[in-house]
């Protein structure tokens, strides 16, 4: 019974998932700090109101805290923009830069006589039967 549990815990995907969750938690802390300590005060300096939680309205004695919903919406968009512009976009550019390799070899060439498109390894044109000698 304990051997099965040990095998389960030491399985690669369980360990990978645990590492991913921990990295995600650390990343969440980083993004939250960036949004809360830098971007939200910057937006507050522009729009003169950093916190909408005090915005409410009352109907029949029930108080609706729509300011909290606005805070959540603004925070969501700030976090999404932060992740996109500071993580996704740079990683995509770095990946594209690292994946550039030599250009793919051409699979066709043009016949020098009739200008037909023929396979690159052909020694004779299928259309005009002209001999192909190094013509690309």
Q: Is the pTM of this model over 0.85?
A: no
According to the model, what pLDDT value does residue 134 have?
A: 57
Q: What is the mean pLDDT of residues 121-132?
A: 86
CA distance 74 to 77: 5
Q: What pLDDT, on a 0 to 100 scale, did the predictor assign at position 116?
A: 86
**The pLDDT of residue 79 is above 50:** yes
* CA 135 vs CA 103, 106, 123: distances in Å: 19, 13, 10
pLDDT-based confidence at 123, cuts 50/70/90? confident
The pLDDT of residue 95 is above 70: yes
pLDDT at 59: 92
Amino acid 43: pLDDT: 74
Give me the chain's average pLDDT, please: 81
DSSP structural state of residue 1? -
What DSSP letter does each residue of 114-136 carry, written as one string? T--EEETT-SB-TTT--B-SS--
pLDDT band at 99 (very low <50, low <70, confident <90, very high): confident
Domains of the chain, start order? 2-99 (1.10.1200.120), 105-136 (no CATH)
Radius of gyration of the chain (CA): 31
Give me the mean pLDDT over the 59-73 stretch: 86
CB neighbour class for 125 (10 Å; exposed up to 12, middle 13-18, buried from 19): buried
- The band of 12, judged by pLDDT with boundaries at 50, 70 and 90, is low
Does position 136 have pLDDT exceeding 70, yes or no? no
Residues 6+ apart with CB under 8 A from 131: 123, 124
Q: Is beta strand 108-110 parallel, antiparallel or unpaired with respect to 57-59?
A: unpaired
């Amino acid at each position: 019974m304990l051997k099965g549990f040990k095998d389960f815990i030491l399985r690669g995907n369980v360990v990978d998932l645990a590492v991913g969750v921990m990295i995600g938690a650390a990343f969440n802390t980083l993004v939250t700090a960036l949004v809360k300590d830098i971007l939200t005060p910057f937006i507050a300096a522009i729009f003169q109101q950093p916190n909408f939680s005090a915005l409410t309205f009352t109907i029949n004695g029930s108080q609706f805290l729509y300011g909290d919903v606005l805070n959540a919406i603004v925070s969501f968009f700030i976090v999404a923009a932060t992740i996109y512009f500071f993580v996704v976009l740079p990683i995509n550019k770095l990946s594209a830069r690292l994946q550039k390799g030599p250009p793919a070899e051409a699979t066709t060439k043009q016949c020098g006589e009739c200008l037909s498109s023929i396979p690159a390894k052909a020694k004779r044109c299928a259309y005009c039967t002209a001999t192909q000698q190094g013509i690309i």
